[in-house]
Amino acid sequence: MPRYFFHIIHERTEIDDVGEELRDKHAAWKEATVTARQMLQGIDGKLKPGRDWRMEVTDEFQNTIYVLHIQAEKPK
């Protein structure tokens, strides 16, 4: 099975150097969205305007497969 990695960029970069074996890129997308939901709940008020939260999903060759990007902005 292919291995996928879920890197997080928010306040600091957290590189996933372990990854997870999943059957295909569709399973990696599902895992990314479930994990992102759980992580965003944990941010709990820490995401401020002008800051971003981002998850990059890569394959075992470090090719970016998906990017989930939450951008916090203050209206003008």
- At 29-39, the pLDDT tens digits run 999 999 999 98
The lowest-confidence range among 5-9, 15-19, 42-46 is 42-46
**pTM (two decimals):** 0.87
pLDDT of residue 74: 81
Angstrom distances, CA of residue 65 to CA of 3, 26, 41, 61, 73? 12, 10, 24, 10, 26
Segment (H or E) for 61: none
- In 1-76, which ranges are continuous DSSP H helix? 25-43
Q: Does the pLDDT of residue 46 top 80, yes or no?
A: no
Q: How far is CA 1 from the centre of its chain?
A: 21
